């Protein structure tokens, strides 16, 4: 597999080795020893799978006190996946990294604990799967505003109405208001 640092060195883009022939393809979507060598800790606590239509923006989510690291893949369609560094002590605090995840390319992104995470669906339909390092705790979940001007994520254009958001995501807090990590 090929591992590349994103705009934030802790956020890794992973391109697994894909074996293709006239029958289709095969890849190892996770192999603990290899991922550990690449800097990704064990991520087998919980698997999540979501499906969304074009223009849906999910996030930017994070979990305080029991932060989750996430290994994220698009298994159908394409999404623009974003990680925002919420670690005050980090040299990249408040910065974001984005990557297009594609079922066709089979690429992945590692989002470490201490980051907010979200994605925007770029195709008519997309399904995203991700492994996490800590169980989901709704009482600890927080949402960073997807459009916080201080963070300045350069989301791809959607239709004139803008992205489709859940009520929770529409109420996300700005970096100045959000509960952060040390």
In CATH, what number is assigned to the domain containing residue 16?
2.60.120.10
Q: Is residue 84 domain-resident?
A: yes
* Residue numbers of the domain that contains 35: 2-170
**62 tagged catalytic:** no
Mean pLDDT (the chain, rounded): 96
Query: In angstroms, how far is CA 18 from the centroid of its own chain?
Result: 21
Q: Is residue 86 part of a domain?
A: yes
Catalytic residue among 30, 35, 62, 130: 130
Tell me whether residue 130 is one of the annotated catalytic residues: yes
Q: What is the pLDDT of residue 72?
A: 98
Q: What pTM, to 2 d.p., does this model score?
A: 0.94
Longest dimension (CA), the chain: 53
Q: Give a yes or no: residue 176 inside a domain.
A: no
Is residue 177 one of the residues assigned to a domain?
Answer: no
Q: How many domains, in total, are found in the chain?
A: 1
Exactly one of 30, 35, 61, 106 is catalytic; which is it?
61
Distance (Å, whole) CA 88 – CA 179:
11
Average pLDDT over residues 31-44: 90
Number of C-beta neighbours around residue 125 at 10 A: 12
């Amino acid at each position: 597999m090929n591992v590349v640092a994103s705009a934030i060195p802790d956020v890794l883009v992973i391109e697994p080795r894909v074996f293709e022939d006239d029958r289709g393809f095969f890849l190892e979507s996770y192999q603990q020893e290899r991922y550990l060598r690449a800097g990704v800790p064990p991520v087998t606590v919980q698997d999540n799978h979501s499906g969304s239509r074009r223009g849906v923006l999910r996030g930017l989510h994070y979990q305080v006190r029991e932060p989750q690291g996430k290994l994220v893949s698009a298994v159908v369609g394409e999404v623009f996946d974003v990680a925002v560094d919420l670690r005050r002590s980090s040299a990249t605090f408040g910065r974001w990294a984005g990557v297009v995840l594609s079922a066709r390319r089979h690429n992945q992104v590692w989002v470490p604990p201490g980051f907010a995470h979200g994605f925007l669906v770029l195709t008519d339909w997309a399904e995203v799967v991700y492994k996490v390092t800590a169980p989901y705790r709704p009482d600890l979940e927080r949402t960073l505003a997807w459009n916080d001007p201080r963070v300045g994520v350069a989301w791809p254009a959607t239709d004139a109405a803008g992205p489709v958001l859940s009520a929770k995501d529409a109420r996300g807090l700005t970096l100045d208001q959000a509960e952060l990590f040390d």
